[in-house]
Amino acid sequence: MIADEILDKEKVMGEDADPARKSIGARRNPESADAILDAAESLLAEAGYSGFSIEAVARRARAGKPTIYRWWPSKAALLLEVYQRQKRVDNPHTGNLEDDLVGFLESLFSHWRETSSGSVFRSLIAEAQSDEAASAALAEYATGRRAHTGQMIERAKARGEVAADVEPALVADLIASYAWTHLLTNRLAEDEATIRRAVRYVMRGIIARNR
Amino acid sequence: MIADEILDKEKVMGEDADPARKSIGARRNPESADAILDAAESLLAEAGYSGFSIEAVARRARAGKPTIYRWWPSKAALLLEVYQRQKRVDNPHTGNLEDDLVGFLESLFSHWRETSSGSVFRSLIAEAQSDEAASAALAEYATGRRAHTGQMIERAKARGEVAADVEPALVADLIASYAWTHLLTNRLAEDEATIRRAVRYVMRGIIARNR
DNA sequence: ATATAACGGAACGTTTCGTATCGATAAAGA
DNA sequence: TCTTTATCGATACGAAACGTTCCGTTATAT
């Protein structure tokens, strides 16, 4: 087919991850975009949300402000992509729900502590208070994340580890809330024992009695 | 005593709520201060954190910006006082812990929904991401609030309603986290049944078995 | 080789923060 | 009654950041 060559080139050059882009010729320079995202991420890691401004990002990335605004319509959009680019914490599956939940929270906390991810997420929450798009994106992400954790509980329920009348989504909500609040109040340094005790209260409430 | 008259006058005029004030002659005009706080609160109620700026507050309160900065050192400080001026939701005591917790969450949710309190609190959380003082104040408030809820659980424990090995502070943390997260993700409209189901999971985990 | 388009840099207008200066006003003391 | 003092609103200011527009350059695609 004739279009193949064009498609190939577009694939190589474009990395067009955003299907909402209108103009045909519009495509990012991957190097430039990466430098901008890297700069934004490192600024957030160093100074948190206070140090995050489009101009500071442009300075650090040696990019022009118009370049940033060409690809990201607002500060919130850039923040959002930095956030989405980060690696997800995946749910462990040890065969024991309590260990799964504790392991999940521990790796989430350490991920938030040891990378820029915590700062980015806190900034996104802050931005969501004054930006509608960020608020919607945050809500959507939170819903998806809860569903993911819910599946972890669903599997335990299938194993008979969890009582039949337990709603995994609600339990996942409790667990996720615990994590969020600790992030927002600078209490990520909890050790495993504390986390395990908190999880145990939830566990005792949902565990199958007839074992 | 000789000092009585002077003290009386200071009491009438000053309403010196801020002991950190340095200059002796410095005291707020209560009417002016109230107008400023009212303006800030109504702006937050109408447009949320987006509509909150010192200049907008000054315009609405028919006050000068320097007047605001004379009494509040920063945007965060004003936000904080608006927040602290709001009425607290007090913990019910029905003699049944589950009813207490559900009642507490319900009245907290409706208070956040139906007054400006929710907007103010969300704004405070946002501000805490870029202002150190707001962050410290938020952390302090959160600690105190958890302790308050913890006492509710402590009472139930004294009644024998809760297992002996339960740490009230940790359970209070779970409950408060649930509330915060729902505020931040625009999920305050939950009905009583949903809240009760969430609380029930916690309850089942902490309830005394030997009843 | 030429047209296209993204790029960095600079400048612009706007908004907001927080500060400084000014004259007016209202209350306290002599 | 007159003077002093402190607070008030108004206005202007510098600094910073947002988001936009223009320009000359560089790199890509045909």
| Helix runs in chain B, H state only | 3-14, 30-47, 54-61, 65-71, 75-85, 97-114, 117-127, 132-158, 168-184, 192-206
List the structure tokens of A110: 């350490």
- The values of phi and psi at residue A207, to 5°, are -70, 145
Q: What is the C-alpha to C-alpha distance for residues B152 and B146, in angstroms, rounded to an integer?
A: 10
Q: What is the pLDDT of residues A117-140, one digit of tens each?
A: 999 999 999 999 999 989 999 999
Q: B35: burial class by Cβ within 10 Å (0-12, 13-18, 19+)?
A: middle
- Contact across the interface for A129 and B122, Cβ inside 8 Å: yes
List the structure tokens of A105: 């929270």
List the structure tokens of B88: 């607290």
- Asked if A27 CB < 7 A from strand C, the reply is yes
Chain B window 170-189, residues with Cβ within 7 A of nucleic strand C: none
- Contact across the interface for A181 and B177, Cβ inside 8 Å: yes
- pLDDT, residue A209, reads 61
> From the CA of A57, how many Å to the nearest CA of chain B?
17
Spacing of B25 CA from D2 C1' in Å: 22
- pLDDT, residue A52, reads 95
pLDDT of residue A24 exceeding 50: no
- In this complex, how many residue pairs, one in chain A and one in chain B, have their CB atoms less than 8 Å apart? 111
pLDDT of residue A59 exceeding 50: yes
Output the CA torsion B177→B183→B186→B190 (10° steps).
70
- Asked if A67 CB < 7 A from strand C, the reply is yes
Partner residues linked to B162 by β-bridges: B207
Q: Is A125 on the interface with B (CB under 8 A)?
A: yes
pLDDT band per the 50, 70, 90 thresholds, residue B25: very low
Of the listed ranges A122-131, A187-196, B1-10, B43-52, the least confidently predicted one is B1-10
Q: Is B209 on the interface with A (CB under 8 A)?
A: no
Output the CA torsion B191→B193→B194→B199 (10° steps).
120
Mean pLDDT of B169-187: 94
Mean pLDDT of A101-118: 94
To probe the interface with A, which of B43, B180, B185 has the most A CB atoms within 10 Å? B185
Q: What is the pLDDT of residues A138-150, one digit of tens each?
A: 999 999 999 999 9
- Contact across the interface for A201 and B202, Cβ inside 8 Å: yes
- pLDDT, residue B208, reads 67
- Asked if B70 CB < 7 A from strand D, the reply is yes
- Asked if B205 CB < 7 A from strand D, the reply is no
ipTM of predicted assembly, 2 dp: 0.83
pLDDT of residue A154 exceeding 50: yes
Q: Which residue has the higher pLDDT, B52 or B207?
A: B52
Residues from chain A contacting residue B139 (CB–CB below 8 Å)? 185-186
Mean pLDDT of B23-33: 63
Domains of chain B: 19-72 (1.10.10.60), 97-206 (1.10.357.10)
3-state secondary structure of A152: helix
pLDDT of residue B133 exceeding 70: yes
Structure-token match 């985990």, residue found:
B205
